[in-house]
Amino acid sequence: MNIVDPILAHAQTRPQAPALVLIDGQAVTFGVLDMLVRRAAAFGLSQGLTAGSIVAMRIGGADEALGLIVALGLARIGVATCDPTVPPKHLTAALVAPGENAPNVARRIPLDNTWLTGPESLAPSHPGGDTLFRIFSTSGTTGVPRFCPVTHTIMAARVAASGHPIARTSFSPILLCALGLDGNWAMRIVLATLSGGGTVVFSNAASLMRTLVEQRVTTLVTSPAVLQSVLGSMLPTQTTLPDLRAVVTGGSRLPEPLWRLATNRLCPEIQISFGASETSVVATGRYEQLAHVPQSVGLLEPGAAAQAVDENHQPLPPGAEGIIRVRTQGDIAGYLDNPEATATTFRDGWFYTGDVGSVTADGHLVITGRAVEIINHGGMKISPRIIEDMLLSVPEIGQAAAFGVPDAQGIVQVWAAIVTNSPIDGDALQRLCTARLGELAPKFIVQMPNLPRNANGKVMTHVLVDAAKQHYQTSGR
């Protein structure tokens, strides 16, 4: 099946229903979306793009709606899109929006409204199936992104599994996805909404709250960092939004204070979702139903499996901590051009997430840290989450990230970066950390206006580590 077919089928049954709402408030019906997708397909064919071609393009650029429509048009004719950082040897061309830097490929095609103004392609859609739909980049939080080739069949499985805030509700979804559409999670949620006949609303950071109210959005998909920004933009007199039925967060942990604030000010239904670019959704759940299991990221989804294993890849009993591996119906087989990472990450039909945690007897997936992020301070292994949880318990702190950095003598020191909601005394905070954490306390605490995050809202630890290394290089200590 072609991933576009279920979306365009609505043009036959309910052509006047709204499919998209653009940033300016203009609605695009399913009938019009069908026409625009066919025009984009025809334009792609006119540029010599054929089934099996791979083109680099940013979908989550300045005009996300245009990027989405063009990506759907190309998928309809069997042309895959990919992250612009995919090695040029795989690319047929690059679609470049005005003002963007083009990948180093021989052929560049402008990405503008020309794609939507020509004749329509009336040919049947490509069968899809094992043909590539898109090559997603992993989050790259460590600075080394990997590339995940996703076929139409795999994406269809992910769409079927990723509609949890959509398929399990009695209301017609009006979705605002406040995450870049270049990411796997955002794309599959958008495709699930459109395939189900719902409406996708576009906005930007400056007008997010206004859009939520004016377009009567029912489902907000976001990261904790963006959720914090949304709450900060609300007027003191604003209460919960009557049309908003569900807020779904992912990408990083949702701190309890932020959950309580969102519950009181946005809507009572706050869900969390856990997955990866390599898989479908693994675990989900309502925050309040998970709170009794510390560090639970959700209950395992139907069709998903997870295990904690030891260093010999042997499954551990329920509740025992080990390396987490998962299996879903939307897993890829391996990475593009990376046999070493494929061999270590995909084993015996399982995907090793790189997380440390456990699986409870009743199906909670518990994540206590990242194996690659464990801080080895003089032989003492420290989970960053212990430090982050302590920092986030301070009312003045809204965001926190802990990490290890080798000093000038090669000894890993504990660092923390924070974003504050209100002024805080740095010396007093350092004393508080020492009192509560003892020898686990960070040696350096850096205040920042924002933590560096990728499109999925995950903190890019390597950026923080690089900045800390610069400190050592400059100071010599």
- The pLDDT, as a whole number, for residue 170 is 53
CATH number at residue 411: 3.30.300.30
Pairwise CA distance, residues 129 & 152, whole Å: 5
C-beta of residue 204 within 8 angstroms of C-beta of residue 324: no
Strand locations in 113-260 (E):
132-137, 147-151, 174-177, 199-201, 219-222, 246-249
Pairwise CA distance, residues 431 & 453, whole Å: 28
- Dihedral (CA of 274, 276, 277, 282) sign: negative
Instruction: Tell me, yes or no, whether 115 lies in a domain.
Output: yes
CATH number at residue 245: 3.40.50.12780
Instruction: Tell me, yes or no, whether 63 lies in a domain.
Output: yes
Pairwise CA distance, residues 156 & 300, whole Å: 19
* pLDDT digits 0-9 by tens, 20-38: 999 999 999 999 999 999 9
Q: End of a domain among 321, 340, 370?
A: 370
Instruction: Tell me, yes or no, whether 37 lies in a domain.
Output: yes
Q: Is 32 helix (H, G, I), strand (E, B) or coil?
A: helix
C-beta of residue 308 within 8 angstroms of C-beta of residue 358: yes
Instruction: Tell me, yes or no, whether 384 lies in a domain.
Output: yes
Q: How confident is the model at residue 179 (pLDDT cuts 50, 70, 90)?
A: confident
* pLDDT digits 0-9 by tens, 107-156: 999 999 999 999 999 889 999 999 999 999 986 555 567 999 999 999 99
Residues 397, 321 within the same domain: no
Number of domains making up the chain: 3
Pairwise CA distance, residues 332 & 147, whole Å: 10
Pairwise CA distance, residues 261 & 231, whole Å: 8
Q: End of a domain among 337, 370, 403?
A: 370
Pairwise CA distance, residues 363 & 351, whole Å: 18
Q: Check whether 95 has a pLDDT greater than 90.
A: yes
What is the value of pTM for the model shown?
0.83
Question: Token pair of 263, please?
Answer: 């519950």
- What count of residues does the chain have? 477
By residue range, what is the domain housing residue 361? Answer: 290-370
Give 449's DSSP letter: S
Give 379's DSSP letter: T
Residues 189, 294 within the same domain: no
Q: Is 432 helix (H, G, I), strand (E, B) or coil?
A: helix
Task: Compute CA 317 distance to the chain's CA centroid, rounded to the nearest angstrom.
Answer: 30
Instruction: Tell me, yes or no, whether 261 lies in a domain.
Output: no
- Dihedral (CA of 392, 397, 400, 405) sign: negative
Q: How confident is the model at residue 460 (pLDDT cuts 50, 70, 90)?
A: confident
* pLDDT digits 0-9 by tens, 340-383: 999 999 999 999 998 889 999 999 999 887 766 778 776 676 87
Residues 349, 453 within the same domain: no
Span between the terminal Cα atoms of the chain, in Å:
59
C-beta of residue 241 within 8 angstroms of C-beta of residue 230: no
Residues 314, 358 within the same domain: yes
Residues 170, 38 within the same domain: yes
Residues 365, 400 within the same domain: no
Residues 48, 123 within the same domain: yes
The DSSP string of 394-416 is STTEEEEEEEEEE-TTS-EEEEE
- Residues paired with 471 in a beta bridge: none
Q: Compute CA distances 412 → 27, 377, 477, whole Å.
A: 54, 5, 12
Q: Which of 247, 206, 207 is nearest to 227 (CA)?
A: 247
The β-bridge relationship of strands 18-21 and 199-201 is parallel
Residue 403 φ/ψ, nearest 5 degrees: -160, 165
C-beta of residue 132 within 8 angstroms of C-beta of residue 149: yes
Residue 346 φ/ψ, nearest 5 degrees: -110, 110
Instruction: Tell me, yes or no, whether 246 lies in a domain.
Output: yes
Q: End of a domain among 370, 401, 435?
A: 370
Pairwise CA distance, residues 414 & 401, whole Å: 11
Residues 29, 165 within the same domain: yes
- The pLDDT, as a whole number, for residue 167 is 44
Q: Check whether 276 has a pLDDT greater than 80.
A: yes
* pLDDT digits 0-9 by tens, 206-254: 889 899 999 999 999 998 878 888 888 887 777 778 899 999 998 777 8
* pLDDT digits 0-9 by tens, 247-257: 999 877 788 88
Residues 355, 427 within the same domain: no
- The pLDDT, as a whole number, for residue 372 is 65
Residues 348, 385 within the same domain: no
Mean pLDDT of 61-82: 96
Of 190-204, 230-244, 298-312, 337-351, minimum mean pLDDT range? 230-244
CATH number at residue 326: 2.30.38.10
- Residues paired with 274 in a beta bridge: 283
Instruction: Tell me, yes or no, whether 262 lies in a domain.
Output: no
Residues 366, 379 within the same domain: no
Q: Compute CA distances 164 → 208, 283, 389, whole Å.
A: 23, 10, 28
Q: Check whether 467 has a pLDDT greater than 90.
A: no
Pairwise CA distance, residues 421 & 419, whole Å: 7
Instruction: Tell me, yes or no, whether 365 lies in a domain.
Output: yes
Residues 206, 325 within the same domain: no
C-beta of residue 464 within 8 angstroms of C-beta of residue 415: yes
Strand locations in 180-239 (E):
199-201, 219-222
